[in-house]
């Protein structure tokens, strides 16, 4: 079956597809954030923070590739790309929150305020959104490096990943549309 564009659907089908996607993203956010609050988060510092960062980035990358493959094979690739972005985003935010939380547990002086689950998630979101209220700031060089890394990865997530998912969705239409025969002069 050839992939369909969202604009090709009847209005009630389009609403249903978008509502279903919204519900899937909401459930994913509830599950991922719920796991973040329930799963014990240890104390990490020094080299282990950098190792954990690399593992977390690799995990987000693997999920992104898996989601992109699902977009390419979806009946409604545009809608699937929206869902994929919602899932990758929550995973990205929670992994950084867990990393900041573990660093704060390892040393209360890592940030200007001792972080709990909510403060770590709040801090991660303020960095992601570039709001940076300044109420929580990194105090150690390692924390500053990690926050700077998140800022750079935020730009990549916003620019490259969104474009990547859009291209994955668009590529399915290019594969399914018949090619016009070449006209020779």
Contact between 7 and 169 under an 8 Å Cβ cutoff? The reply is no
- In whole angstroms, give the CA distance from residue 100 to residue 111: 9
Predicted structure pTM score: 0.81
Mean pLDDT of 44-54: 77
The model's confidence at residue 56, banded by pLDDT at 50, 70 and 90, is confident
Identify the pLDDT of residue 47: 77
End-to-end CA distance of the chain: 35
């Amino acid at each position: 079956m050839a992939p369909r564009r969202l604009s090709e659907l009847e209005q009630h089908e389009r609403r249903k597809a978008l509502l279903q996607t919204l519900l899937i993203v909401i459930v994913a956010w509830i599950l991922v954030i719920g796991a973040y609050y329930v799963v014990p988060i240890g104390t990490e510092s020094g080299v282990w923070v950098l190792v954990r960062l690399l593992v977390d980035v690799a995990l987000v990358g693997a999920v992104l590739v898996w989601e992109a493959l699902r977009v390419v094979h979806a009946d409604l690739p545009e809608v699937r790309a929206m869902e994929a972005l919602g899932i990758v985003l929550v995973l990205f935010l929670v992994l950084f929150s867990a990393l900041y939380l573990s660093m704060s547990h390892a040393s209360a002086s890592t940030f200007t305020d001792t972080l709990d689950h909510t403060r770590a998630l709040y801090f991660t979101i303020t960095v992601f959104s570039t709001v940076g209220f300044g109420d929580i700031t990194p105090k150690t060089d390692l924390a500053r490096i990690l926050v700077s890394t998140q800022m750079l990865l935020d730009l990549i997530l916003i620019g490259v990943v969104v474009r990547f998912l859009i291209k994955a969705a668009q590529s399915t239409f290019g594969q399914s549309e018949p090619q016009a025969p070449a006209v020779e002069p």
